[in-house]
Amino acid sequence: MNRDDIVSAALEVLDTWGMEFCSMRRVAGALDVQPSALYHHVANKQTLLGLMAERIVAGVAVDADLMASSRRLRDAMLAIRDGAEVVATASAFRLGLSELEGDLAKQSSTDLARTLLIYVVGHTQATQLHRQASALGAIEADPDLDPSFDRGLTILLS
Amino acid sequence: MNRDDIVSAALEVLDTWGMEFCSMRRVAGALDVQPSALYHHVANKQTLLGLMAERIVAGVAVDADLMASSRRLRDAMLAIRDGAEVVATASAFRLGLSELEGDLAKQSSTDLARTLLIYVVGHTQATQLHRQASALGAIEADPDLDPSFDRGLTILLS
DNA sequence: ACCTGAACACCGTTCAAGT
DNA sequence: ACCTGAACACCGTTCAAGT
Protein backbone atom coordinates (compact mmCIF):
# COMPACT_ATOMS: atom_id res chain seq x y z
CA MET A 1 0.00 0.00 0.00
CA ASN A 2 1.30 3.44 -0.98
CA ARG A 3 0.08 7.03 -1.26
CA ASP A 4 -1.51 6.45 -4.68
CA ASP A 5 -3.42 3.41 -3.44
CA ILE A 6 -4.80 5.48 -0.60
CA VAL A 7 -5.88 8.28 -2.96
CA SER A 8 -7.55 5.72 -5.26
CA ALA A 9 -9.38 4.11 -2.36
CA ALA A 10 -10.43 7.52 -1.03
CA LEU A 11 -11.88 8.51 -4.42
CA GLU A 12 -13.80 5.23 -4.58
CA VAL A 13 -15.21 5.81 -1.11
CA LEU A 14 -16.07 9.38 -2.12
CA ASP A 15 -17.88 8.30 -5.27
CA THR A 16 -19.81 5.58 -3.44
CA TRP A 17 -20.70 7.30 -0.17
CA GLY A 18 -20.17 11.03 -0.72
CA MET A 19 -18.02 13.57 1.10
CA GLU A 20 -20.00 13.28 4.34
CA PHE A 21 -18.97 9.66 4.81
CA CYS A 22 -15.51 9.86 3.28
CA SER A 23 -13.70 9.38 6.58
CA MET A 24 -10.19 8.17 7.25
CA ARG A 25 -11.72 5.14 8.94
CA ARG A 26 -13.83 4.24 5.88
CA VAL A 27 -10.90 4.68 3.52
CA ALA A 28 -8.86 2.42 5.77
CA GLY A 29 -11.71 -0.11 5.78
CA ALA A 30 -11.79 -0.11 1.97
CA LEU A 31 -8.09 -1.02 2.02
CA ASP A 32 -8.57 -3.66 4.75
CA VAL A 33 -6.19 -1.82 7.00
CA GLN A 34 -6.31 -0.12 10.39
CA PRO A 35 -7.05 3.66 10.30
CA SER A 36 -3.70 4.38 11.91
CA ALA A 37 -1.89 2.73 8.99
CA LEU A 38 -2.90 5.62 6.70
CA TYR A 39 -0.86 8.05 8.78
CA HIS A 40 2.33 6.38 7.61
CA HIS A 41 1.65 7.67 4.11
CA VAL A 42 -0.31 10.90 4.55
CA ALA A 43 0.17 13.45 7.31
CA ASN A 44 -3.54 14.05 7.90
CA LYS A 45 -6.98 14.18 6.27
CA GLN A 46 -6.42 17.67 4.83
CA THR A 47 -3.38 16.42 2.94
CA LEU A 48 -5.36 13.48 1.60
CA LEU A 49 -8.11 15.83 0.39
CA GLY A 50 -5.47 17.87 -1.40
CA LEU A 51 -4.16 14.76 -3.16
CA MET A 52 -7.71 13.78 -4.09
CA ALA A 53 -8.33 17.24 -5.57
CA GLU A 54 -5.08 17.00 -7.53
CA ARG A 55 -6.18 13.70 -9.04
CA ILE A 56 -9.67 14.96 -9.86
CA VAL A 57 -8.32 17.86 -11.94
CA ALA A 58 -5.22 16.01 -13.19
CA GLY A 59 -6.48 15.31 -16.70
CA VAL A 60 -7.85 18.79 -17.38
CA ALA A 61 -6.16 20.40 -20.38
CA VAL A 62 -5.82 24.17 -20.35
CA ASP A 63 -5.41 26.02 -23.63
CA ALA A 64 -6.11 29.45 -25.11
CA ASP A 65 -9.85 28.72 -25.29
CA LEU A 66 -10.75 29.67 -21.73
CA MET A 67 -14.41 28.82 -22.16
CA ALA A 68 -13.64 25.28 -23.29
CA SER A 69 -10.98 24.90 -20.61
CA SER A 70 -13.47 25.97 -17.94
CA ARG A 71 -16.01 23.47 -19.22
CA ARG A 72 -13.43 20.71 -19.05
CA LEU A 73 -12.61 21.58 -15.47
CA ARG A 74 -16.30 21.53 -14.63
CA ASP A 75 -16.78 18.15 -16.31
CA ALA A 76 -13.83 16.67 -14.42
CA MET A 77 -15.37 17.69 -11.10
CA LEU A 78 -18.86 16.55 -12.11
CA ALA A 79 -17.46 13.13 -13.06
CA ILE A 80 -17.16 12.12 -9.42
CA ARG A 81 -19.63 12.47 -6.56
CA ASP A 82 -18.93 15.65 -4.53
CA GLY A 83 -15.90 16.29 -6.73
CA ALA A 84 -16.38 20.07 -6.68
CA GLU A 85 -16.67 20.11 -2.89
CA VAL A 86 -13.37 18.27 -2.54
CA VAL A 87 -11.68 20.67 -4.94
CA ALA A 88 -13.26 23.66 -3.21
CA THR A 89 -12.15 22.51 0.23
CA ALA A 90 -8.63 21.70 -0.96
CA SER A 91 -8.24 24.83 -3.06
CA ALA A 92 -9.35 26.99 -0.16
CA PHE A 93 -6.35 25.54 1.65
CA ARG A 94 -4.27 26.16 -1.52
CA LEU A 95 -3.56 22.49 -2.17
CA GLY A 96 -3.67 20.68 -5.46
CA LEU A 97 -4.85 23.54 -7.64
CA SER A 98 -1.73 25.66 -8.03
CA GLU A 99 -0.66 24.02 -11.30
CA LEU A 100 -4.06 24.57 -12.89
CA GLU A 101 -4.15 28.19 -11.72
CA GLY A 102 -0.69 28.71 -13.19
CA ASP A 103 -1.72 27.24 -16.55
CA LEU A 104 -4.80 29.45 -16.64
CA ALA A 105 -2.77 32.52 -15.74
CA LYS A 106 -0.35 31.80 -18.58
CA GLN A 107 -3.27 31.87 -21.02
CA SER A 108 -4.73 35.10 -19.65
CA SER A 109 -3.76 36.96 -16.46
CA THR A 110 -3.38 36.18 -12.77
CA ASP A 111 -6.59 38.06 -12.00
CA LEU A 112 -8.72 36.39 -14.65
CA ALA A 113 -7.33 32.97 -13.75
CA ARG A 114 -8.24 33.43 -10.09
CA THR A 115 -11.67 34.87 -10.83
CA LEU A 116 -12.44 32.12 -13.31
CA LEU A 117 -11.31 29.38 -10.94
CA ILE A 118 -13.43 30.73 -8.08
CA TYR A 119 -16.45 30.92 -10.37
CA VAL A 120 -16.07 27.50 -12.01
CA VAL A 121 -15.50 25.65 -8.74
CA GLY A 122 -18.21 27.60 -6.90
CA HIS A 123 -20.87 27.16 -9.57
CA THR A 124 -20.05 23.48 -10.02
CA GLN A 125 -20.25 22.88 -6.28
CA ALA A 126 -23.66 24.56 -6.17
CA THR A 127 -24.78 22.45 -9.14
CA GLN A 128 -23.63 19.21 -7.62
CA LEU A 129 -25.25 19.92 -4.26
CA HIS A 130 -28.44 21.04 -5.96
CA ARG A 131 -28.59 17.84 -8.01
CA GLN A 132 -28.20 15.68 -4.91
CA ALA A 133 -30.79 17.63 -2.96
CA SER A 134 -33.35 17.48 -5.76
CA ALA A 135 -32.60 13.79 -6.35
CA LEU A 136 -33.51 13.20 -2.71
CA GLY A 137 -36.67 15.26 -3.18
CA ALA A 138 -35.44 17.75 -0.59
CA ILE A 139 -35.75 20.61 -3.09
CA GLU A 140 -37.55 21.30 -6.36
CA ALA A 141 -35.22 21.01 -9.36
CA ASP A 142 -34.06 24.24 -11.01
CA PRO A 143 -33.67 23.42 -14.71
CA ASP A 144 -31.93 26.76 -15.29
CA LEU A 145 -28.98 26.15 -12.96
CA ASP A 146 -27.12 23.98 -15.44
CA PRO A 147 -27.32 26.29 -18.48
CA SER A 148 -26.58 29.31 -16.27
CA PHE A 149 -22.98 28.08 -16.01
CA ASP A 150 -22.17 29.08 -19.58
CA ARG A 151 -23.93 32.42 -19.24
CA GLY A 152 -21.92 33.30 -16.14
CA LEU A 153 -18.80 32.25 -17.99
CA THR A 154 -19.75 34.59 -20.84
CA ILE A 155 -20.15 37.47 -18.41
CA LEU A 156 -16.70 36.72 -17.03
CA LEU A 157 -14.96 36.34 -20.38
CA SER A 158 -16.54 39.25 -22.21
CA MET B 1 -33.69 30.41 25.46
CA ASN B 2 -34.98 30.76 21.91
CA ARG B 3 -33.73 30.42 18.33
CA ASP B 4 -32.14 33.87 18.31
CA ASP B 5 -30.25 33.19 21.52
CA ILE B 6 -28.86 30.03 19.97
CA VAL B 7 -27.79 31.87 16.81
CA SER B 8 -26.12 34.57 18.92
CA ALA B 9 -24.28 32.00 21.02
CA ALA B 10 -23.24 30.10 17.89
CA LEU B 11 -21.78 33.26 16.34
CA GLU B 12 -19.85 33.98 19.53
CA VAL B 13 -18.44 30.46 19.57
CA LEU B 14 -17.59 30.84 15.89
CA ASP B 15 -15.77 34.13 16.40
CA THR B 16 -13.86 32.80 19.40
CA TRP B 17 -12.97 29.28 18.27
CA GLY B 18 -13.51 29.17 14.53
CA MET B 19 -15.66 26.95 12.34
CA GLU B 20 -13.68 23.80 13.18
CA PHE B 21 -14.71 23.96 16.81
CA CYS B 22 -18.17 25.43 16.35
CA SER B 23 -19.96 22.25 17.40
CA MET B 24 -23.48 21.83 18.70
CA ARG B 25 -21.94 20.69 21.99
CA ARG B 26 -19.86 23.84 22.33
CA VAL B 27 -22.78 26.11 21.47
CA ALA B 28 -24.82 24.28 24.11
CA GLY B 29 -21.97 24.71 26.58
CA ALA B 30 -21.89 28.46 25.93
CA LEU B 31 -25.57 28.56 26.83
CA ASP B 32 -25.12 26.34 29.91
CA VAL B 33 -27.48 23.81 28.49
CA GLN B 34 -27.36 20.18 27.41
CA PRO B 35 -26.63 19.61 23.68
CA SER B 36 -29.98 17.91 23.23
CA ALA B 37 -31.77 21.07 24.34
CA LEU B 38 -30.77 22.82 21.10
CA TYR B 39 -32.82 20.36 19.08
CA HIS B 40 -36.01 21.79 20.51
CA HIS B 41 -35.31 25.02 18.63
CA VAL B 42 -33.36 24.02 15.52
CA ALA B 43 -33.83 20.85 13.49
CA ASN B 44 -30.12 20.17 13.02
CA LYS B 45 -26.69 21.76 12.59
CA GLN B 46 -27.25 22.56 8.92
CA THR B 47 -30.28 24.63 9.81
CA LEU B 48 -28.28 26.48 12.48
CA LEU B 49 -25.55 27.25 9.95
CA GLY B 50 -28.21 28.67 7.63
CA LEU B 51 -29.50 30.95 10.39
CA MET B 52 -25.95 32.05 11.20
CA ALA B 53 -25.33 32.91 7.54
CA GLU B 54 -28.57 34.85 7.45
CA ARG B 55 -27.48 36.93 10.42
CA ILE B 56 -23.97 37.52 9.05
CA VAL B 57 -25.33 39.06 5.84
CA ALA B 58 -28.42 40.62 7.45
CA GLY B 59 -27.16 44.20 7.52
CA VAL B 60 -25.80 44.26 3.98
CA ALA B 61 -27.48 46.95 1.88
CA VAL B 62 -27.83 46.25 -1.84
CA ASP B 63 -28.24 49.17 -4.23
CA ALA B 64 -27.52 50.02 -7.86
CA ASP B 65 -23.80 50.33 -7.16
CA LEU B 66 -22.90 46.65 -7.48
CA MET B 67 -19.22 47.24 -6.72
CA ALA B 68 -20.00 48.95 -3.43
CA SER B 69 -22.67 46.38 -2.59
CA SER B 70 -20.18 43.57 -3.17
CA ARG B 71 -17.63 45.27 -0.95
CA ARG B 72 -20.21 45.58 1.81
CA LEU B 73 -21.04 41.89 1.56
CA ARG B 74 -17.34 41.07 1.76
CA ASP B 75 -16.86 43.30 4.80
CA ALA B 76 -19.81 41.71 6.58
CA MET B 77 -18.28 38.27 6.16
CA LEU B 78 -14.79 39.44 7.11
CA ALA B 79 -16.19 40.96 10.30
CA ILE B 80 -16.48 37.56 11.95
CA ARG B 81 -14.03 34.68 12.07
CA ASP B 82 -14.72 32.11 9.29
CA GLY B 83 -17.75 34.20 8.29
CA ALA B 84 -17.26 33.50 4.58
CA GLU B 85 -16.98 29.76 5.20
CA VAL B 86 -20.28 29.73 7.07
CA VAL B 87 -21.97 31.69 4.28
CA ALA B 88 -20.38 29.45 1.63
CA THR B 89 -21.52 26.27 3.38
CA ALA B 90 -25.02 27.59 3.95
CA SER B 91 -25.41 29.12 0.50
CA ALA B 92 -24.31 25.89 -1.12
CA PHE B 93 -27.32 24.35 0.61
CA ARG B 94 -29.37 27.36 -0.54
CA LEU B 95 -30.11 28.64 2.93
CA GLY B 96 -30.01 32.20 4.18
CA LEU B 97 -28.81 33.83 0.97
CA SER B 98 -31.94 33.86 -1.18
CA GLU B 99 -32.98 37.36 -0.12
CA LEU B 100 -29.58 38.83 -0.93
CA GLU B 101 -29.49 37.05 -4.29
CA GLY B 102 -32.94 38.42 -5.06
CA ASP B 103 -31.92 41.97 -4.20
CA LEU B 104 -28.83 41.69 -6.38
CA ALA B 105 -30.86 40.26 -9.25
CA LYS B 106 -33.28 43.20 -9.05
CA GLN B 107 -30.37 45.58 -9.51
CA SER B 108 -28.90 43.66 -12.45
CA SER B 109 -29.87 40.21 -13.74
CA THR B 110 -30.25 36.71 -12.34
CA ASP B 111 -27.05 35.62 -14.05
CA LEU B 112 -24.91 38.52 -12.88
CA ALA B 113 -26.30 38.22 -9.35
CA ARG B 114 -25.39 34.54 -9.16
CA THR B 115 -21.97 35.02 -10.71
CA LEU B 116 -21.21 37.94 -8.43
CA LEU B 117 -22.31 36.07 -5.31
CA ILE B 118 -20.20 33.03 -6.15
CA TYR B 119 -17.19 35.24 -6.73
CA VAL B 120 -17.56 37.44 -3.66
CA VAL B 121 -18.14 34.56 -1.27
CA GLY B 122 -15.43 32.41 -2.86
CA HIS B 123 -12.78 35.11 -2.90
CA THR B 124 -13.58 36.18 0.65
CA GLN B 125 -13.39 32.60 1.89
CA ALA B 126 -9.97 32.20 0.25
CA THR B 127 -8.87 35.49 1.82
CA GLN B 128 -10.03 34.54 5.27
CA LEU B 129 -8.40 31.11 5.15
CA HIS B 130 -5.21 32.59 3.76
CA ARG B 131 -5.07 35.17 6.55
CA GLN B 132 -5.45 32.49 9.22
CA ALA B 133 -2.86 30.22 7.62
CA SER B 134 -0.32 33.02 7.30
CA ALA B 135 -1.06 34.24 10.84
CA LEU B 136 -0.16 30.75 12.05
CA GLY B 137 3.00 30.85 9.95
CA ALA B 138 1.79 27.86 7.94
CA ILE B 139 2.10 29.83 4.69
CA GLU B 140 3.90 32.93 3.46
CA ALA B 141 1.57 35.93 3.22
CA ASP B 142 0.42 37.01 -0.25
CA PRO B 143 0.03 40.80 -0.10
CA ASP B 144 -1.72 40.80 -3.49
CA LEU B 145 -4.66 38.61 -2.48
CA ASP B 146 -6.54 41.43 -0.77
CA PRO B 147 -6.31 44.03 -3.57
CA SER B 148 -7.05 41.33 -6.16
CA PHE B 149 -10.65 41.29 -4.91
CA ASP B 150 -11.46 44.64 -6.53
CA ARG B 151 -9.69 43.72 -9.75
CA GLY B 152 -11.72 40.50 -10.08
CA LEU B 153 -14.84 42.52 -9.38
CA THR B 154 -13.89 44.94 -12.16
CA ILE B 155 -13.48 42.03 -14.59
CA LEU B 156 -16.92 40.81 -13.61
CA LEU B 157 -18.66 44.17 -13.82
CA SER B 158 -17.07 45.50 -16.99
C1' DA C 1 -43.32 23.04 26.20
C1' DC C 2 -38.79 22.69 27.45
C1' DC C 3 -34.90 20.56 29.30
C1' DT C 4 -31.85 16.64 31.37
C1' DG C 5 -29.12 12.47 31.19
C1' DA C 6 -27.78 8.72 29.03
C1' DA C 7 -26.97 6.40 25.12
C1' DC C 8 -25.78 5.23 20.00
C1' DA C 9 -22.90 5.24 16.31
C1' DC C 10 -19.57 7.50 14.82
C1' DC C 11 -15.04 10.89 14.10
C1' DG C 12 -9.35 12.29 13.52
C1' DT C 13 -5.19 11.31 15.48
C1' DT C 14 -1.48 9.30 18.51
C1' DC C 15 1.50 5.81 20.11
C1' DA C 16 3.47 1.73 22.19
C1' DA C 17 4.07 -2.70 20.55
C1' DG C 18 4.82 -6.10 17.15
C1' DT C 19 6.90 -7.91 12.46
C1' DA D 1 9.67 0.52 7.38
C1' DC D 2 5.12 -0.62 7.93
C1' DC D 3 1.19 -2.06 10.36
C1' DT D 4 -1.86 -3.43 14.57
C1' DG D 5 -4.59 -2.54 18.63
C1' DA D 6 -5.93 0.25 21.95
C1' DA D 7 -6.75 4.50 23.56
C1' DC D 8 -7.92 9.76 23.81
C1' DA D 9 -10.79 13.39 23.14
C1' DC D 10 -14.12 14.47 20.68
C1' DC D 11 -18.65 14.57 17.22
C1' DG D 12 -24.32 14.94 15.73
C1' DT D 13 -28.49 13.18 17.02
C1' DT D 14 -32.23 10.54 19.52
C1' DC D 15 -35.19 9.58 23.20
C1' DA D 16 -37.20 8.25 27.61
C1' DA D 17 -37.79 10.63 31.66
C1' DG D 18 -38.53 14.56 34.44
C1' DT D 19 -40.61 19.51 35.43
- A20-36 mean pLDDT: 98
The Cα-based distances of A113 to A118, B53, B66 in angstroms read: 9, 28, 22
pTM score, whole prediction: 0.96
Cα B18 to its chain centre, rounded Å, is 12
pLDDT digits (tens, 9 = 90+) for A61-114: 999 999 999 999 999 999 999 999 999 999 877 777 889 999 999 999 999 999
Considering only CA atoms, which residue is closest to the C1' of nucleotide D14? B36
DSSP three-state, residue A138: coil
Q: Are B151 and A111 inside 8 Å of each other by CB?
A: yes
Q: What is the pLDDT of residues B12-50, one digit of tens each?
A: 999 999 999 999 999 999 999 999 999 999 999 999 999
**B115 neighbourhood in chain A, CB within 8 Å:** 119, 123, 152, 155-156
Average pLDDT of chain A is 95
Mean pLDDT, residues B53-75: 97
Residue B123 forms contact with A (CB below 8 Å): yes
Provide, rounded to the nearest whole percent, the portion of chain A with pLDDT above 70: 100
Which residues of chain B have a CB within 8 Å of the CB of A156? 115, 155-156
Q: How many CB atoms lie within 10 A of CB B144?
A: 11
Task: Please tell me if residue A55 touches chain B, with a CB cutoff of 8 Å.
Answer: no
Average pLDDT over residues B66-70: 98
pLDDT score of B84: 98
Residue of chain B whose Cα is closest to the Cα of A133: B93
Tell me which chain B residue has its CA closest to the CA of residue A132.
B93
Strand C nucleotides where any atom sits below 7 Å of a protein CB: 2-7, 10-16
A157 to chain B, any CB pair closer than 8 A? The answer is no
Of residues B111, B44, B122, the one with CA closest to residue B89: B122
Q: Residue-wise over A58-78: b if at least 16 C-beta within 10 A, else e?
A: eebebeeebeebbbbbbebbe
Pick from B119, B131, B144 the residue to mutate for testing the A interface (most A CBs within 10 Å).
Answer: B119
